[in-house]
Amino acid sequence: MISAGDFRNGITIELDNNIYQIIEFQHVKPGKGAAFVRTKLKNIKSGGVVEKTFRPTEKCPQARIDRKDMQYLYSDGDLYNFMDTENYEQIALNSDAVGDTLKFVKENEMVKVCSHNGSVFAIEPPLFVELEITETEPGFKGDTATGATKPAVVETGATVYVPLFVNQGDVIKIDTRTGEYLSRV
């Protein structure tokens, strides 16, 4: 059990037969009346965000989330296959559980599979990946002062906006949380 006074960003709690992750919290002490904790909670199964207030002494059971390193093997139509590298056990997840989290992940790369009580609800890709650009327009010489960008398709098929000096065949570093170009490698 965790009290509302101990809430921090990223903590997962069980509430109303659902599992929520705390996105934001704020301790509020009004001039009149009792203090309270205002939170934004994200339902980790449905993805919906709700706002809820708690008394600081209120307690919630803390949810246990298991994160396991697994290797992304391949996609087979609507199924995505992962392997546990310790015991070579394989699992297949449908596209509802995976979502678009694998758009920057190549086959045979490591990801974190998040589950609660044995049911997988999310895939966490590595924070940064290095991918080769397979398709982009050539840049114009000398046109670098404006900070302009152009679309580029990387080897996984995802589109990233890159500076004009980046060419086809270059390997770039991408932040998977935002999908932004970081640098050339």
pLDDT, one tens digit per residue, over 112-152 is 988 888 778 778 888 899 999 999 888 666 656 667 888 89
Same fold, 2-60 and 128-184: no
Looking up tokens 């992750």 gives: 21
**Which residues lie closer than 8 Å to 84 by C-beta, 6 or more apart?**
68, 70, 90, 91
Per the rule left: phi > 0, alpha: psi between -120 and 50, beta: everything else, 29 is beta
**Confidence category of residue 53, pLDDT binned at 50, 70, 90:** very high
**Model pTM?**
0.69
Question: What tokens appear for 95 in the block?
Answer: 């596209």
Domains of the chain, residue spans: 2-60, 66-124, 128-184
**Which residues lie closer than 8 Å to 145 by C-beta, 6 or more apart?**
none
Report the C-alpha gap between 140 and 150 in whole angstroms: 11
Residue 2 CB-density burial (10 A; 0-12 exposed, 13-18 middle, 19+ buried): middle
pLDDT for 142 = 61
**Confidence category of residue 50, pLDDT binned at 50, 70, 90:** very high
CATH fold group of domain 128-184: OB fold (Dihydrolipoamide Acetyltransferase, E2P) (2.40.50)
CATH fold group of domain 2-60: SH3 type barrels. (2.30.30)
* pLDDT beyond 90 at 64: no
Question: What tokens appear for 167 in the block?
Answer: 């060419």
Report the C-alpha gap between 53 and 15 in whole angstroms: 12
Report the C-alpha gap between 133 and 92 in whole angstroms: 29
- Name the 3-class secondary structure at 97: helix
CATH fold group of domain 66-124: OB fold (Dihydrolipoamide Acetyltransferase, E2P) (2.40.50)
* pLDDT beyond 90 at 51: yes
* pLDDT beyond 90 at 178: no
Output the CA angle 94-82-102, nearest 5 degrees. Answer: 65
Least confidently predicted of 15-24, 94-103, 128-137, 166-175 = 94-103
